[in-house]
């Protein structure tokens, strides 16, 4: 534990040690203005005589602006003492498997955090360019449409954007699950969520047995605005600890539009000048400074990354909002969840034409580049062709093939929550569908084919080795398709059993 930590003090001890006492002059909860602390510093923790914590936001000419970190109201003339300590969060591998608030306190009495290794300052400067490395490793989400069309890299900051109830959280949990299974430390920052939503995340972690790699930092709507504001900072500090300890980290921030709303509330109560949408002018700097702490870094243990997936909520699909456009310009791309596609029944409802990845493609192999290019070309052609078909024109064989293959691939992209598909298997299944080896499987059954094949891939070593070797040895898409054709019967004996579509495949296997 850090020396002279504010956690070691009560009000009287702090007053005795630093011999400075202030008094609350005005209250605009959760902001209070304190007079009488001549040597206090920005971001320092102060103690109220009632036992509550405060966080110094700014220094004014005759007073100090303090953010109260509790629900308890603070009265005028309440005494305030310094601690000479910055706000910190406890860190350590001991926190894995727990649900904590932004100050590191367990949210559940039945699951206390009994020990921790050290403290890390919550709000720090991002490290410089000299400590960073180029992003070269791919981050697999386990979600086919993203891995094949909007690939991500370890250390990337990718915005997840879309309306409420369009499947963003489900996608984030799928990515969380896939990375936790690979041993990556996964941190979920739930910012100002309903308690029921926090419980759903906890239940997901428990149901999938990934506690050993997971940590949830959560604040609810009932928490004070100060704690909600600090939630993503605390989660980022924990991510930096695990990175420095030699672990890759996936950090999900759900969501930063809620964070911006609470920051706006705090800022306006602090008399900041409102700008566009009533947000203070420094909201861009606030989020940029936070997200810049993610990336791919050199550490004493080697090169390790913090991959950050911040979430931004849109209204009626409008991605031109102030906070949304801010986040787009800060991050390395975005995955857009389309309300219209969701209404059509697409799961996940990702609009790959409006989604962008600026870093992920540089982590792809030549084969993945080819697959992505061919998919995008076909899906673009499919969209144009479907518009043309609306006019009632007669369809040539080429147009019918485009429509059939495109629609089957879109059906293949449908993926239920709790199900993740390994990247190599995604590529093989794409090739099998592309070559029309599963024509006996209808589009509805195709949705379940990938799930059942994934179970076979995980359980049967022979199938797993075959899939991995085909993908590893293929240098480009034509080589992959040739290898799949050569091994057609063997692949189909594992992929297209009688349970799918109600009929046996060409090889009669199961």
Task: Report pLDDT digits (tens) over 139-183.
Answer: 999 999 999 999 999 999 999 999 999 999 999 999 999 999 999
Distance CA 357, CA 254 (A): 19
Nearest to 336 by CA among 309, 324, 354, 321: 354
Distance CA 414, CA 416 (A): 7
Contact status, residue 500 vs residue 448, Cβ threshold 8 Å = yes
Contact status, residue 37 vs residue 64, Cβ threshold 8 Å = yes
The H helix count followed by the E strand count for the chain is 16, 19
Distance CA 383, CA 400 (A): 13
Neighbours of 76 (CB within 10 A): 11
pLDDT > 70 fraction of the chain, expressed in percent and rounded: 95
Average pLDDT over residues 76-105: 93
Nearest to 87 by CA among 127, 123, 51: 123
Residues taking part in catalysis = 358
- Burial environment of residue 455 by CB neighbours within 10 A (0 to 12, 13 to 18, 19 or more): exposed
Structure tokens at 255: 């969501």
Contact status, residue 332 vs residue 160, Cβ threshold 8 Å = no
pLDDT of residue 457: 95
3-state secondary structure 281-323: CCHHHHHHHHHCCCEEEEECCEEEEEEEEEEEECECCECCCHH
Ranges of each domain in the chain: 6-86, 133-364, 367-495
Indicate the Cα dihedral angle 45, 49, 51, 53, nearest 10°: -20
Spell out the alpha helix ranges (H) of 390-500. 397-413, 423-434, 443-459, 461-473, 477-486, 488-495
Q: Say whether pLDDT at 391 is over 70.
A: no
Global pTM reads 0.93
Average pLDDT over residues 211-238: 95
Q: Say whether pLDDT at 506 is over 60.
A: no
Distance CA 467, CA 301 (A): 33
Angle between helices 488-495 and 477-486 (to 10 degrees): 80
pLDDT tier, 418 (very low <50, low <70, confident <90, very high otherwise): confident
Structure tokens at 207: 């149901």
Distance CA 291, CA 317 (A): 24
Task: Let me know if domain 6-86 sits in CATH 2.40.30.20.
Answer: yes
Distance CA 496, CA 346 (A): 23
Q: Say whether pLDDT at 421 is over 70.
A: yes
pLDDT tier, 73 (very low <50, low <70, confident <90, very high otherwise): confident
Average pLDDT over residues 452-466: 94
Max mean pLDDT range (120-124, 240-244, 409-413): 240-244
Structure tokens at 250: 């996936």
Q: Say whether pLDDT at 91 is over 80.
A: yes
Average pLDDT over residues 329-344: 95
Phi, psi (deg, nearest 5) at residue 191: -100, 110
pLDDT > 90 fraction of the chain, expressed in percent and rounded: 74
Q: Say whether pLDDT at 393 is over 80.
A: no
CATH no. for 367-495: 1.10.1140
- Domain 6-86 and domain 133-364 have a common topology: no
CATH no. for 133-364: 3.40.50.300
User: pLDDT, tens digit, for every residue of 428-440?
Assistant: 999 999 999 988 8
Average pLDDT over residues 18-42: 92
Distance CA 220, CA 211 (A): 21
Contact status, residue 315 vs residue 162, Cβ threshold 8 Å = no
Give the CA distances from residue 389 to residues 346, 380, 409, in Å, rounded to whole numbers and listed in that order: 21, 14, 19
Give the CA distances from residue 314 to residues 91, 145, 158, 163, 256, in Å, rounded to whole numbers and listed in that order: 33, 21, 16, 5, 11
Q: Say whether pLDDT at 307 is over 80.
A: yes
pLDDT of residue 7: 72
Neighbours of 330 (CB within 10 A): 18
């Amino acid at each position: 534990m850090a020396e002279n930590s504010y956690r070691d003090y009560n009000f009287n001890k702090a007053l005795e040690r630093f011999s400075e006492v202030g008094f609350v002059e005005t209250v605009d909860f959760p902001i209070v203005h304190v007079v009488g602390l001549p040597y206090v510093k920005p971001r320092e923790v102060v103690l109220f005589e009632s036992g509550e914590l405060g966080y110094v936001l700014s220094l004014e000419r005759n007073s100090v602006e303090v953010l109260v970190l509790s629900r308890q109201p603070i009265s005028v003339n309440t005494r305030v003492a310094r601690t000479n300590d910055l706000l910190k969060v406890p860190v350590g591998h001991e926190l894995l498997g727990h649900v904590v608030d932004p100050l590191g306190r367990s949210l559940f009495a039945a699951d206390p955090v009994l020990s921790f290794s050290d403290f890390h300052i919550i709000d720090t400067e991002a490290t410089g360019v000299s400590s960073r490395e180029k992003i070269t490793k791919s981050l697999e989400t386990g979600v086919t449409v993203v891995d094949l069309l909007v690939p991500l890299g370890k250390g990337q900051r990718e915005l997840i954007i879309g309306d409420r109830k369009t499947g963003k959280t489900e996608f984030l949990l799928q990515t969380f699950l896939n990375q936790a299974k690979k041993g990556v430390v996964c941190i979920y920052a739930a910012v100002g969520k309903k308690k029921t939503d926090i419980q759903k995340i906890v239940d997901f972690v428990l149901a999938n047995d990934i506690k050993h790699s997971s940590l949830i930092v959560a604040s609810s709507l009932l928490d004070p605005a100060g704690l909600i504001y600090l939630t993503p900072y605390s989660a980022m500090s924990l991510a930096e600890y695990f990175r420095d300890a030699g672990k890759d980290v996936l950090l999900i921030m759900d969501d930063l539009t809620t964070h911006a709303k609470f920051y706006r509330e705090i800022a306006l109560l602090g008399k900041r000048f409102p700008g566009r949408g009533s947000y203070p002018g420094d909201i861009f700097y606030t989020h940029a400074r936070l997200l810049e702490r993610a990336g791919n870094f050199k550490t004493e243990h080697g090169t390790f990354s913090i991959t950050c997936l911040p979430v931004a909520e849109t209204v009626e699909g409008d991605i031109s909002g102030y906070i949304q456009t801010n986040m787009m310009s800060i991050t390395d791309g975005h995955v857009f969840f389309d309300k219209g596609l969701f209404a059509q029944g697409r799961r996940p409802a990702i609009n790959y034409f409006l989604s962008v990845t600026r870093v992920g493609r540089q982590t792809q192999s030549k084969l993945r580049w080819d697959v992505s290019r061919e998919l995008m070309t076909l899906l673009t052609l499919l969209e144009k062709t479907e518009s043309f078909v609306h006019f009632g024109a007669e369809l040539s064989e080429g147009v019918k093939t485009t429509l059939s293959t495109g629609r089957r691939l879109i059906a293949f992209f449908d993926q239920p929550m709790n199900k993740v598909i390994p990247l190599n298997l995604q590529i093989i299944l794409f090739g099998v569908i592309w070559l029309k080896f599963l024509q006996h499987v209808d589009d509805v059954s195709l949705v379940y084919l990938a799930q059942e094949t994934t179970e076979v891939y995980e359980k049967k070593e022979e199938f797993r080795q075959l899939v991995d070797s085909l993908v590893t040895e293929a240098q480009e898409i034509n080589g992959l398709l040739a290898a799949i054709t050569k091994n057609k019967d063997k692949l189909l004996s594992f992929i297209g059993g009688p349970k799918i579509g109600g009929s046996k495949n060409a090889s009669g296997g199961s």
